[in-house]
Structure 1
Amino acid sequence: MKAKSTAAVADERVPRSDPLTFEARTYTKVGRRLIPFLMLCYLGAYLDRVNVGFAKLQMLNDLRFSETVYGMGAGIFFLGYFLFEVPSNLILHRVGARRWLARIMLTWAVISASFVFVRSPTAFYVLRFLLGVAEAGFAPGVILYLTYWFPAERRAKALSLFFMAIPLAGIIGGPLSGAIMHSLHGAWSMSGWKWLFLLEAVPSLVLGIAILLYLDDGIAKAKWLTDAEKTLLARNVANDAQQTVTHVSIREFIRDRRLWLMAAIYFCVVLGQYGLTFWLPTIIRKAGVADPLWVGLFTAIPYLCAIVALPLVGISADRHRERRFHLAIPMLVAAAGFATLPLLGSVGASIVCLSVASAGILASSSQFWSLPTALLGGMSAAAGIAAVNCFANLAGFFSPAIVGWLNDLTGKSTAGLMFISIAVTLGALLVFRVPAQSVNR
């Protein structure tokens, strides 16, 4: 008699009486193993990327930088990100997530700590550019990595949980950054903003090493899964891949209009996201809060609202298997928050509008990725996800640069916030150019 294959034997071990319960338990196990750790890594990434917004409160006076210089430096990060993101994701697909994500984290930790040596606009620009080069590929790499474990029908929830690292970075990073700048300013003859860059690089350094010890490259190498669980996961991912566009050349994909449509949508999302991130401390200070510690505490409030919104929107999107409205509506909510903000002057009212904008734009950021990951598979997914992300992340350059320039030009933040609101609204309208039948699964 012919022996059964290993896969067939493993498949027989799946409980027949409650297959749905077994599947739910398996994905819960995978989620608990991967998502909290990846969230922690992205929290470190986001903290090192955006702590410049807090450093600005002291750095601009110390170094005599203008708002335009700050905006250009904050944004030039994304030029490095743009140039190296696609190659980074292709390398990750070939060499494995464990080694490549560790390399990314260790490199950016060293560069982030090097900001203590900034003395001139040129040094500021160079280090921000190099930080973008170092970090390129981490977020899209994790997005690609999650497609190795979760089929499209379960991916929105997983992505929502992963992207909760962004508001968590605000909740933790805001008070932490404010406390560092408040309490260590002048210690060992170093300004508070220098201590900020130095100390907040340490978590990324530690997590970079932890990736090598903890993360698995895929289902087959996961020793913490049973054979039956591996079979179930691999089968679901394989079935999902059959419904996506696979083995498409990079050249063909770049010519696909869907790529540019998705890049345009995400460009608008990212423009709003970094408009919020890089200027949130400044907006709160202009509302009447002077102490960096209190600025940090107040910045946590909008992110607390976002951390509630993200999983609720993700769970709803998966339950209803609807993607477009679950992206467009949060974008419109965010646009309303940005548009209303200039009309209000008190601290309390500003926090309310910032909370609305934060919840909407960060929910949009996670929900967006249900679109391209539902359309792509294989190497085209590696290239496509990175391509969409890197082109759209040019908004990370334009957003702080344009807002900084508008602030210097007008002497007010009103024009910059209205610019962001209009861009996010246009992005929401573009969402409905994506065919519903392609993504609603």
Structure 2
Amino acid sequence: KLLKKLDWRIVPWVFCLYFLSVEDRSNVGYAMTMNKDQGHTLMDTAGLTAQQNNIGLGLFYVAYIIFEVPSNLMMAHVNPALWIARIMITWSIVTGCMAAISRPWHFYLLRFLLGVFEAGFWPGKSTFYNTLWYKPQEISTRIGVTYLAGPASGAVGGLISAGIQLIDTKGGLYGWQWLFLISGIVSVLFGLATIFYLPSTPEKSTRFLNEDERARVKRRLESSTQQAKTAETVEERNMKRDLKQVLGELKDFKVWLFCVLYFTPVMAATSLGYFLPKIVQQIGTFNSIQVSLMSIPPFVFGMIMVYVVTRLSDHYSNRSWFIIGASCVSFIGFCILSFAKPIGARYFGLMVVAGGTYPTVPLSMAWTANSKEDPVSVASATGIVSSVANFGALICTFALYSGWPSDAPRYVGSNMI
């Protein structure tokens, strides 16, 4: 009963926050193809070349890599829920400002700021925050359920972009401008609501849990291998000591193995998040609305596979074999997408890629979190792993797909990498 109470309060809300995070980060992929037939895409109206587009996409990850660990470490020293709300409100404002892009340097600046303000959100809310409430063997399912928001955002984003294309030039704004404005406003509202709704730590959640429930949450954590160092210890922590702990994590060989493990899923998931509409566009001769709609099924299939695989992983208390299996499925999908000739077969390959790629991300992050016991170690290790692995996203945005013009239209080289 207590676990269900935690789940109903925390998981759906964090799901919504991550949904909006992915939407605000990746809707630029739809902005690049929206109203293409009218010449009203972001690239057309802002005068962006394919190379400039990739620079802007990559600058997000440059900032993300730089600020990931500091932001995640701050979450261990302040009210976690308020820090999550701060992250969300600031990135949402930047998203809304992207509607004003009219020059390449506007795009560069806003993408960099988006990375600065969003840094720490994914490892913070998915791993560190969960370790304050759940046992290690419960984390993968919760991360998996919230990570469903990633492919869900891609699917719903396809519907939203298809609909918004119908109001292109209304109010003097292009479709892509409406997309950024609406996304930014909705996200700001959710960020403000997070301040009041999302519980901080068990000891401080007096409006959410009674005294007995707070004690039971703490006993649950103490009975596991994880130490229940939450609310009171936040004030007792010493930043200098914790920085030494971060340096200790940098010397941990296992942390670097997790960086390698997480690197490839991040690269593959980034390719889907940003370039799936472009991949669909190259598979056949589709108009911009058809591209948006045909981008939905792969994301939906990815959602289903995330839920199934993470549940099985928690049930069998195993991460490695499920990561290996999902990675093999993803590899097979990339091969089909690259070398099959019929349009239907290539689209099927894209579905398989999504089904294999998306489960590996939450499984890898859950495994990293499970390898650590106290909150500062979790925050440090997951921040380091996420930061280093995002070099994979950086490579993807700079060098693959639209960053490799000669690789079009089949993108065989990008897919194989």
Contact kept, 8 Å, 1:179 with 1:292, in 2: the verdict is no
CA distance in 1, matches of 2:187, 2:301: 25
Unpaired stretches in structure 2, ≥5 consecutive residues: 34-40, 229-240
1:240 pairs, out of 209, 224, 230, with 224
Unpaired stretches in structure 1, ≥5 consecutive residues: 1-24, 421-441
Contact kept, 8 Å, 2:24 with 2:95, in 1: the verdict is yes
Quickly say closer, same or farther: Cα 1:103–1:393, change in 2 above 3 A.
same
Match of 2:406 in 1: 409
Match of 2:36 in 1: none
Contact kept, 8 Å, 1:54 with 1:177, in 2: the verdict is yes
Match of 1:18 in 2: none
Match of 2:388 in 1: 391
Match of 2:263 in 1: 267
What is the CA distance between 1:272 and its match in structure 2? 0.4
Describe how 1:309-320 pairs up with structure 2 within 5 A. 309-320=305-316
TM-score (norm 1): 0.85
Match of 1:307 in 2: 303
CA distance in 1, matches of 2:92, 2:286: 29
Describe how 1:211-360 pairs up with structure 2 within 5 A. 211-222=194-205, 223-242=207-226, 249-360=245-356
The more displaced of 341-350 and 351-360 is: 341-350
Q: What are the Cα deviations for residues 362-407 of structure 1, in whole angstroms up to 9, with x where unaligned?
A: 1111111221111112212111111111111122211121114653
Contact kept, 8 Å, 1:84 with 1:136, in 2: the verdict is yes
Describe how 1:85-234 pairs up with structure 2 within 5 A. 85-142=68-125, 143-180=127-164, 182-222=165-205, 223-234=207-218
User: Counterpart amino acid of 2:21?
Assistant: A
- Match of 1:95, SS? coil
Contact kept, 8 Å, 2:2 with 2:213, in 1: the verdict is yes
CA distance in 1, matches of 2:14, 2:50: 34
Q: What are the Cα deviations for residues 28-47 of structure 1, in whole angstroms up to 9, with x where unaligned?
A: 22111100000001101100
User: Counterpart amino acid of 2:195?
Assistant: L
Contact kept, 8 Å, 1:113 with 1:199, in 2: the verdict is yes
CA distance in 2, matches of 1:36, 1:416: 38
2:377 pairs, out of 380, 388, 405, with 380
CA distance in 1, matches of 2:416, 2:399: 9
Contact kept, 8 Å, 2:60 with 2:111, in 1: the verdict is yes
TM-score (norm 2): 0.90
Query: Matched residue pairs, number?
Result: 395
What is the CA distance between 1:282 and its match in structure 2? 0.7
CA distance in 2, matches of 1:49, 1:410: 25
- Match of 1:249, SS? helix
Contact kept, 8 Å, 1:116 with 1:198, in 2: the verdict is yes
2:2 pairs, out of 20, 26, 30, with 26
Contact kept, 8 Å, 2:275 with 2:401, in 1: the verdict is no
Quickly say closer, same or farther: Cα 1:199–1:405, change in 2 above 3 A.
closer
Larger gyration radius, structure 1 or structure 2: 1
CA distance in 2, matches of 1:384, 1:80: 19
CA distance in 2, matches of 1:348, 1:405: 23
Q: What are the Cα deviations for residues 264-294 of structure 1, in whole angstroms up to 9, with x where unaligned?
A: 1111110000111111001111222533322
- Match of 2:133, SS? coil
User: Counterpart amino acid of 2:214?
Assistant: K
Contact kept, 8 Å, 2:401 with 2:411, in 1: the verdict is no
Match of 2:232 in 1: none
Contact kept, 8 Å, 2:199 with 2:208, in 1: the verdict is no
Whether 2:33 is the aligned partner of 1:36: answer no
CA distance in 2, matches of 1:304, 1:366: 16
Match of 1:13 in 2: none
Q: What are the Cα deviations for residues 291-331 of structure 1, in whole angstroms up to 9, with x where unaligned?
A: 33222211110111111111211111111111101112111
- Match of 2:404, SS? helix
CA distance in 1, matches of 2:186, 2:326: 31
Contact kept, 8 Å, 1:178 with 1:297, in 2: the verdict is yes
Moved over 4 A (4+): 241-244
CA distance in 1, matches of 2:50, 2:334: 20
Match of 2:234 in 1: none
CA distance in 1, matches of 2:328, 2:58: 24
Q: What are the Cα deviations for residues 174-228 of structure 1, in whole angstroms up to 9, with x where unaligned?
A: 1102221x21211123221111111111221111001011011111223333444
User: Counterpart amino acid of 1:344?
Assistant: A
- Match of 1:232, SS? helix
Q: RMSD in angstroms over aligned alpha carbons?
A: 2.1
User: Counterpart amino acid of 1:157?
Assistant: T
The more displaced of 248-257 and 265-274 is: 248-257
What is the CA distance between 1:81 and its match in structure 2? 0.7
CA distance in 2, matches of 1:255, 1:60: 43
What is the CA distance between 1:54 and its match in structure 2? 0.5
Contact kept, 8 Å, 2:262 with 2:365, in 1: the verdict is no
User: Counterpart amino acid of 2:51?
Assistant: T
Match of 2:51 in 1: 68
Q: What are the Cα deviations for residues 66-123 of structure 1, in whole angstroms up to 9, with x where unaligned?
A: 3222222112211111111111111111111121111111111111111122222222
What is the CA distance between 1:53 and its match in structure 2? 0.5
Contact kept, 8 Å, 1:113 with 1:197, in 2: the verdict is yes
CA distance in 2, matches of 1:337, 1:122: 37
Contact kept, 8 Å, 1:52 with 1:278, in 2: the verdict is yes
CA distance in 2, matches of 1:186, 1:116: 13
Contact kept, 8 Å, 1:287 with 1:345, in 2: the verdict is no
CA distance in 2, matches of 1:289, 1:28: 48
